[in-house]
Amino acid sequence: MRWLDVPLRLGYLMDGVPPAGSRIRLTVSTQVGDKEFEGTLVPPAGVDLLTLKLANGYNLSHSIADVREVVLIEEGLQGEEPPDVDFREDSSLPEVLLIHTGGTIASKVDYSTGAVTARFEPSEILSTVPELLNIARIRVLKLGNMWSDDVRPRHWNAMVNATKDAFDQGYEGVVVTHGTDTLHLSAAAMSYAWSGKGGRAPGRIVFTGSQRSPDRGSSDAYENLIAAVSWAANGPDTTGYRDTSVVVMHEDGSDGRCAILPGCSCRKAHSSKRGAFIAVNQEPLAYISIDSKGPLIEDLRGDSVPRGVEKDPVLFNETTRMHEFVAGPYLTGEMVRASLESSPDALVIRGTGLGHLPIHDPLGDSPENTLLAEVLASAVKTGIPIVITAETVQGEVNMDVYSKGRDQQAMGLFGHGSLCPPGSAMVKLHHLLSRGLDSAAIEEAWHMDLVGENPPDSRS
C-alpha cells in the first residue's frame, strides 16, 4: 500500500493516513539524493513534519515537502496496551518515595505510537518494572520534568526539602530520578546539605538515571531503577560519611551489575556508554547484582562510626553567585577583572596538572600572565575566596611541588591537598558560603573531609 502527499498538520494524523504506531518505509529527498528509512510512525516533532522512530530507538523527522513515498508495512496497534499487572502491595515491605525531576528513566513506551512518554503514577511505573513490587511499596512525587543541564541550586533545595518531608513521614528511603548530565552535582548537593555539618540523613537517598531510553533494547533504565530502589529500601544504614547520597548506575556496558557510588565524589565520565559514571579518588561503596533470584547487595564500605541524625539540612543560598574559570592559554586578567566587576561571592579556577595557573612570564613576552597574577592577588585582599581545583579530575591538587604552586599559595589562593572533584568542589563552596562563613573560615573548612570528598586514605 502506498500513499503520497502526507496530510500532517498541527501535530496529528488525518485523512486515512495509517495510524501512529504503524510500521512504514519512507523515501525522502535529501541533498545527496533520495534516501529510504524504515521505522514506526509516531506523532510529529513539529508542524509539517513526518517523524519515524527507527530501530535504534532514535527519532527521525523530515519535512512533508520532502516525502517521495511511504509504504505501509504493518498497521498500528491502535492503542493496545500490555497486559495489566497485579498491583497489590505487600504491607510488610518498606515504603520508598520516588522523586522525579526529569530524564528518561521514569518513562516507558506508548504502545500505540512507539514514542517514549513520561510516567509518574505508581501503577504506570510498576507496569514497566513489576519487579519493584517485590522490593518496596512505591510512592511518587513529581518535582518537574527537566533537562538536567537546566537544574539550578533552587532545584537542589526542592529536592532536599522533598527528602526531608519524606523522612518526616516515615519513608525508609528516597530515590531521585534525574537526567544524567548533572546528576552528580545534585547528588553532591544532597550530601553537603544533609552531612556538611557532621550529621547524616534519617534515611537512604539514591540518585539514578539512564543513558538509554526505556524503549531501546539496550536500555539501562530497568536495572538502574531496580538497584536504586533496592538500596533505598533494603540497603545498609547510612553513616553520613560518603554514603549520605549515592549514585546508582550500571557498572559497565554489561547488564546484571550496578555500582553504588559516593554522591559527594563521582561524575559522568562518558557521554553515551551505559557504564558512564565513576567514583573519583576513591572506590565504589558497593555493588548490586541483579539476576533471576533478585537484587543482591555487596557492601564494600568498611567500618565507619555513624554520625548523629541531622534533622534540618542546610539549604543553598539561592542568591549566591560563583564564577568558574579554566586555566589555559586563554585565561587572562581582563577576563577575571570583568568577572569581579559583577561582585561574585567566590571564584573557582580549574588549574592544569597539579593545580597551576598561567601567572608567570619567563620569556618576558606574555604580560597578560603578570596581569592575571596581579588581579587575583588583589581580589584575595578584598576577601573574595578563590579556590583552585584540578582539571585532571583524578588526583589531588598539590601546590607544594613547584615554585608556581607555592607562589599561588602566597597570593592567598587555596585548594592545596584537595581530592574533591571539580563539580563537587563547586557545590562544596556554595554550601560553605550558604553557612555564612568568611574567606578564612572557608579556607579552613576546605581542607576538612566534610562528607567523604577528601578521603585521607586516597592521598598519594
Q: Which residues are catalytic?
A: 104, 180-181, 268
Q: Give the C-alpha separation, 133 to 135, whole Å.
A: 6
Q: Give the C-alpha separation, 285 to 295, whole Å.
A: 16
Q: What are phi and psi of 176, to 5 degrees?
A: -105, 115
Q: What are phi and psi of 440, to 5 degrees?
A: -65, -40
Joined together, the cell numbers standing for residue 124 give: 504506570
Of 182, 195, 196, the closest CA to residue 153 belongs to: 182
Of 69, 82, 74, the closest CA to residue 34 belongs to: 69
Of 232, 227, 228, 220, the closest CA to residue 270 belongs to: 220
Q: Give the C-alpha separation, 350 to 327, whole Å.
A: 6
What are the residues whose beta carbons fall under 8 Å from the beta carbon of 112, sequence distance 6 or more? 19, 20, 21, 76, 77, 78, 79, 80
The amino acid sitting at 352 is: T
Q: Give the C-alpha separation, 352 to 412, whole Å.
A: 18
**71 near 62, Cβ under 8 Å?**
no
Q: Quick one: DSSP state of residue 2?
A: E
**374 near 333, Cβ under 8 Å?**
yes
Can you say whether the dihedral through the CA atoms of 214, 277, 331, 319 is positive or negative? positive
Query: What is the enclosing helix (H) or strand (E) of 432?
Result: helix 422-434
Question: CB burial class (10 A; 0-12, 13-18, 19+) of residue 197?
Answer: middle
With both helix axes pointing from N to C terminus, report the angle between 183-195 and 153-168 in degrees, rounded to the nearest 10: 60
Q: CB 78: neighbour CB atoms within 10 A? A: 11
Of 93, 86, 87, 173, the closest CA to residue 136 belongs to: 93
Can you say whether the dihedral through the CA atoms of 451, 452, 453, 456 is positive or negative? positive
**288 near 260, Cβ under 8 Å?**
yes
The amino acid sitting at 301 is: R
